[in-house]
């Protein structure tokens, strides 16, 4: 391949034609990956990336032959200890690939979903699969209904840039959950280190609710007008893997901090307008009923200026950390949901 | 695993924290699966579900190795007689999984599509893939065009909770069709028993139209203003597998019943406003041209208060069985399409 | 199978019941495939299509076992010389199928994406994944952001009837690009011959930009207001595989022809309203800044009457070839993007 490198260097100056000799100005670029890009601009690095590592690829392809219903099965049956993509099979025989966390607290965690806010300005528009893509509409109290149906969407490698839900969400019978908040667009191989918050439960609470969120949300529907603020679902204590109670607190807005207690994950919150949310990540609402500012997912109807996968994380429109607005870090991070 | 059970029982009372001691009120819950959920709430049952049946999983994974273009091929080549998911391969080599009905009338039926009404209030909005997701628009006479293109969407396990179309729709060369109306959100393993209507053709009519719906709808485009009410496509007699002519009749609205004759499946109907529909399931229009109340799918333009995958099943807004409104059972059931 | 043929002929006249004895009128049908359909109407041809070619299917399924990151790897490792679908694996182990062009200029080209205009009337509505599905909105300068994220959508067999993006888009580290403009809805097996324009680069320019479009567009964001008309990205000379400079010229509108020079592919153009486009296929803008009439993809904000995957190819609403309107051939062809 070396002669290619030489050829490139020669050809470049002759034929690539920029509109201006300087690179395009990009003052708004804040993407975490740009440093990688810059490094990759050297011909040497590109050349190295360019040669496929077949040995590694063969190793990864062996995982396609595994027969397991969860990452926990894979850990037990195949003694795999490496984070990454594996093939799973549902009880009905549907085969799919997802990410397994094989290291946290003993490993065996299956990524089953991610909640990604594609536009904080959208009000239950395209891309709001975890609330509604039908507009804010009281006639559709369940919205898209994805918290309690068998629809699937997205792909594991895109879980931080779009909503993701795989068959494991409804198929795996699990005991505990783990949640990672990973900045948008981060690649899979850096999710663990890039996460701004990671935690898991360890009291096997899912046993009580049918073994997964699909079943839990049948009992506690994420539905407009299903109950009042006092009718929320379970709050489960969490063990932190990255972050702590104090760091959880400051990820949400100052006003929100007066309403919740950190150190829990809460399911099916209801706000004062009787809108339902699916998950309050890292916290338990204690006083007040303004959960739309710090809980995610939802039914199909909210206050007219709310509605969306992160229903009202931007309420005070002040780029976060003011009033009811969540921090920019939180608003621009996908929420990855794991089972074990 | 038994020690887990014990641990759970101990932990539960200490750590799971409900907003109220009673379960959330859920007066609106009418989901057919709640009885399963309730059973699953006992720790014993969850524990049992929790242990993966690897023997069964291995058996299902063997099906991934099958080389066949249709469920009929699988029946003939591999002598499989069990309903469930199998792997198929298109003539071009695309591999996909779908549901095979191996029991009805000799078996060998391939699920190629499902038409699911995600919101009877939507007017050709997100989720109306079998009509249009672009709004009611005369400039787009074909709407999304999915009846006669090679787009695919959804997954077999989600076929009763979202639209579904796999490569078999355009790839398989078939002779007959089978149709199942299955209540929304029912799981694959109960589709057959849960269906409110099931029938098939047995005159090999698809031979005359290119072997599948993709080809049939090239000849009879599902397109606004392509013709008048008298220009509808073929009506084919059906054999009932569940239900009969009388039960078909009462699934649609009282006014609709005066227009059609049950015992047929009809393709590409056109109403008096020159809107086109794809399939009139179970019936043949005889008098009148108000097919939008009992035929499904469509082009991109209808009467302004119609348009959608079930274009106007709710016309009289009376929860069904009044005027032109179809029954609630029909409106809330996905239409599964099979080839053989 | 012969007895089936006989049976069909007998049954047809008895049971298939048309609304009118003549076939439906279809004056608007202009689909290129109708001639195939008509041929297939004869029972003999359908019968022949109906018998699965298992030998061919087995051959295609062997390709599922290949371990390769790109079509170029497959060419080198497995000595395959036939165009068609193959299985690839990303560096992370994600397995997917796509089309390989194994013949053009030595072969080894991987189809990684297609840009398909689903409605020239839409203004960044559903289906405009390469610009925005959120409406024309200055608050979302990146629109859906798919030029520089890891989302995937669509399937290879549907690449001419819907947008398509597979993991190869961000995973493959390549040197050159190839582009095919294929009329909408053409089947994979005829793409090569049906294309109205095909070309490739051969100066290995991708080396300079991180090896693929995902990396290139990190450096040159497809984002509203990121720069002015003079800040466009690289223009790379092309080698024609079908068509030439003159045929490229006349695919765009008369007014557009005064602005560009054919014989190049240009990345990240910016128009006078500071809207960004991703690719100017076949041309390099030279004078003027009205690139929205001949460049595709885009950020989330344009002139209010523009926005979309082909942002303003229909500006003069004259069915093409008038003023700024591109030709009907160009507007109704999907743009297929390949790497090598």
A283: which strand partners?
Answer: A262
Q: Does C8 touch chain B (CB under 8 A)?
A: yes
d(CA B187, CA B156): 10
Q: What's the confidence (pLDDT) of residue C288?
A: 84
**Residue entry with tokens 């089972």:** A339
Residues of chain B with pLDDT under 50: 1-48
Contact between A16 and C95 using a beta-carbon 8 Å cutoff:
no
**Chain C partners of B175 at a C-beta cutoff of 8 Å?**
4, 8, 50
In B27-147, at which residue ranges do the beta strands (DSSP E only) sit?
A: 84-89, 95-101, 109-115
The segment with the largest mean pLDDT, out of A234-238, C51-55, C316-320, is: A234-238
Specify if B74 maps to a domain: yes
**Chain B partners of A216 at a C-beta cutoff of 8 Å?**
none
Q: Which residues, 6 or more positions from C37, have their beta carbon under 8 angstroms from its beta carbon? A: B210, B215, B218, B219
Q: How confident is the model at residue C250 (pLDDT cuts 50, 70, 90)?
A: very high
Specify if B37 maps to a domain: no
A285: which strand partners?
Answer: A260
Query: Residue C143 corresponds to which tokens in the numbers above?
Result: 């629109």
d(CA A268, CA A202): 20
Q: Which H helix or E strand runs over C259?
A: none
**Residue entry with tokens 């080894």:** C108
Query: Residue B80 corresponds to which tokens in the numbers above?
Result: 């499989």
- CA of residue A157 relative to chain centroid, distance: 11
Q: How confident is the model at residue A320 (pLDDT cuts 50, 70, 90)?
A: low
Count Cβ–Cβ pairs < 8 Å, chain B vs chain C.
Answer: 177
Q: How confident is the model at residue C320 (pLDDT cuts 50, 70, 90)?
A: low
Which residue in chain B has the smallest CA separation from C118?
Answer: B144
Specify if A50 maps to a domain: no
User: Residue C155: CA atoms inside 13 Å, Cβ hemisphere, count?
Assistant: 19
Q: How far is CA B291 from CA B226, B246, B288, B298, C21, in A?
A: 15, 19, 8, 11, 20
Specify if B303 maps to a domain: yes
Contact between C119 and B140 using a beta-carbon 8 Å cutoff:
yes
d(CA A49, CA A59): 18
* Cβ neighbours of C18 (radius 10 Å): 14
Query: For A257, phi and psi rounded to 5 degrees?
Result: -60, -25
* Cβ neighbours of A3 (radius 10 Å): 7
d(CA C154, CA C144): 15
Query: For C63, phi and psi rounded to 5 degrees?
Result: -60, -20
Q: How far is CA B93 from CA C55, C62, C98, C191, in A?
A: 12, 10, 10, 16
Q: Does C106 touch chain A (CB under 8 A)?
A: no
Q: Does B103 touch chain C (CB under 8 A)?
A: no
d(CA C279, CA C281): 6
d(CA C278, CA C234): 11
Count Cβ–Cβ pairs < 8 Å, chain A vs chain B.
Answer: 175
pLDDT (tens digit, 9 = 90+) per residue, C286-302? Answer: 998 999 999 999 999 99
Q: Is A121 helix (H, G, I), strand (E, B) or coil?
A: coil
Mean pLDDT of A137-164: 97
Query: Residue A145 corresponds to which tokens in the numbers above?
Result: 């209904």
pLDDT (tens digit, 9 = 90+) per residue, C77-130? Answer: 999 999 999 999 999 999 999 999 999 999 999 999 999 999 888 899 999 999
Q: How far is CA A203 from CA B1, B15, C169, in A?
A: 15, 8, 42
Angle between helices B2-15 and B43-50 (to 10 degrees): 130
What is the overall mean pLDDT for chain C?
A: 88
pLDDT beyond 50 at A303: yes
Q: How confident is the model at residue A318 (pLDDT cuts 50, 70, 90)?
A: low
Contact present, A233 and A268 (Cβ < 8 Å): yes
Question: A286-290, A334-338, C179-183 — which is least confidently predicted?
Answer: A286-290
Contact between B236 and C46 using a beta-carbon 8 Å cutoff:
no
Contact between A19 and C219 using a beta-carbon 8 Å cutoff:
no
> Which of A95, A174, A219 lies at the smallest CB-CB distance from B23?
A219
Contact present, B158 and B336 (Cβ < 8 Å): no
A181: which strand partners?
Answer: A197, A335
Q: Which residues, 6 or more positions from A237, have their beta carbon under 8 angstroms from its beta carbon? A: A201, A203, A263, A264, B15, B17
d(CA B76, CA A128): 44
Q: Does C237 touch chain A (CB under 8 A)?
A: yes
- CA of residue B277 relative to chain centroid, distance: 16
Q: How confident is the model at residue A340 (pLDDT cuts 50, 70, 90)?
A: very high
d(CA B300, CA B307): 7
Q: What's the confidence (pLDDT) of residue C120?
A: 86
Q: Is C254 helix (H, G, I), strand (E, B) or coil?
A: helix
pLDDT beyond 50 at C201: yes
**Chain B partners of A235 at a C-beta cutoff of 8 Å?**
16-19
Mean pLDDT of A249-267: 97
DSSP A152-186: -BS-GGGTTTS-EE-THHHH---S-EEEEEEETT-
Contact present, B190 and B88 (Cβ < 8 Å): no
DSSP B224-292: TTSS-GGG---EEE-EEEE--HHHHHHHS-HHHHTTEEESEEEEEEE-TT--EEEEETTEEE-SSS-GG
d(CA B133, CA B125): 4
The length of chain B in residues reads 340
Q: How confident is the model at residue A288 (pLDDT cuts 50, 70, 90)?
A: confident
Contact present, C111 and C101 (Cβ < 8 Å): yes
Contact present, C205 and C236 (Cβ < 8 Å): yes
Instruction: State how many domains chain B has.
Output: 1
**Residue entry with tokens 């952001």:** C145
Interface of C with B in 182-221 (CB under 8 A): 185, 187-189
d(CA A317, CA C41): 61
Contact present, C105 and A88 (Cβ < 8 Å): no
d(CA B137, CA C126): 14
**Residue entry with tokens 């038994």:** B2
pLDDT (tens digit, 9 = 90+) per residue, A63-118? Answer: 999 999 999 999 999 999 999 999 999 999 999 999 999 999 999 999 999 999 99
Contact between B231 and C20 using a beta-carbon 8 Å cutoff:
yes
Interface of C with A in 15-44 (CB under 8 A): none
DSSP B173-223: --S-EEEEEEETT--GGGHHHH-SEEEE--S-GGGGGTSSHHHHHHHS---
What is the overall mean pLDDT for chain A?
A: 88
Specify if B249 maps to a domain: yes
d(CA A141, CA A138): 6
Domain residues for A182? 57-339
Identify the sign of the CA torsion C159, C165, C171, C177: positive
d(CA C161, CA B144): 10
Contact present, B85 and B97 (Cβ < 8 Å): yes
How far does C284 lie from chain A, in Å, by closest CA?
9
User: Which DSSP state fits B150?
Assistant: -
Question: A145-154, A165-174, B41-50, B278-287 — which is least confidently predicted?
Answer: B41-50
Q: What's the confidence (pLDDT) of residue A51?
A: 83
Which residue in chain B has the smallest CA separation from A234?
Answer: B18
Specify if C150 maps to a domain: yes
Specify if A297 maps to a domain: yes
Specify if B42 maps to a domain: no
Q: How confident is the model at residue A39 (pLDDT cuts 50, 70, 90)?
A: very low
């Amino acid at each position: 391949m070396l002669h290619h490198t030489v050829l490139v260097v020669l050809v470049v100056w002759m034929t690539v034609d920029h509109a201006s000799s300087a690179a395009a100005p990009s003052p708004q670029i804040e993407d975490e990956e740009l440093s990688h890009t810059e490094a990759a601009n050297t011909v040497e690095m590109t050349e190295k990336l360019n040669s496929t590592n077949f040995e590694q690829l063969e190793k990864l392809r062996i995982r396609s032959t595994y027969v397991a219903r969860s990452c926990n099965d894979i850990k037990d049956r195949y003694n795999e200890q490496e984070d990454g993509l594996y093939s799973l099979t549902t009880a009905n025989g549907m085969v799919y690939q997802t990410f397994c966390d094989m290291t946290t607290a003993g490993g065996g965690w299956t990524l089953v979903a991610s909640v990604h806010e594609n536009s904080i300005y959208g009000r239950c528009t395209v891309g709001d699969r975890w609330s509604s893509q039908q507009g804010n509409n009281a006639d559709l109290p369940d919205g898209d209904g994805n918290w309690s149906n068998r629809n699937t969407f997205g792909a594991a490698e895109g879980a931080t840039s779009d909503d993701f839900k795989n068959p494991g969400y409804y198929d795996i019978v699990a005991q505990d959950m783990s949640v990672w908040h990973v900045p948008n667009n981060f690649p899979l191989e850096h999710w663990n280190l890039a996460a701004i918050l990671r935690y898991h439960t360890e009291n096997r609470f899912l046993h009580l609710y049918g073994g997964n969120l699909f079943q839990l949300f049948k009992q506690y529907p994420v539905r407009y007008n299903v109950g009042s603020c006092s009718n929320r679902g379970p709050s489960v204590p969490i063990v932190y893997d990255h972050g702590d109670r104090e760091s959880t607190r400051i990820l949400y807005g100052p006003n929100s901090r007066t309403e919740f207690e950190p150190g829990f994950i809460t399911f099916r919150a209801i706000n004062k307008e009787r809108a339902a949310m699916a998950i309050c990540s890292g916290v338990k609402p204690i006083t007040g009923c303004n959960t739309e500012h710090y809980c995610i997912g939802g039914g199909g109807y909210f206050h007219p200026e709310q509605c969306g996968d992160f229903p009202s994380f931007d309420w005070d429109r002040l780029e976060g950390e003011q009033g009811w607005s969540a921090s920019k870090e939180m608003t621009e991070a996908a929420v990855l949901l794991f089972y074990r």
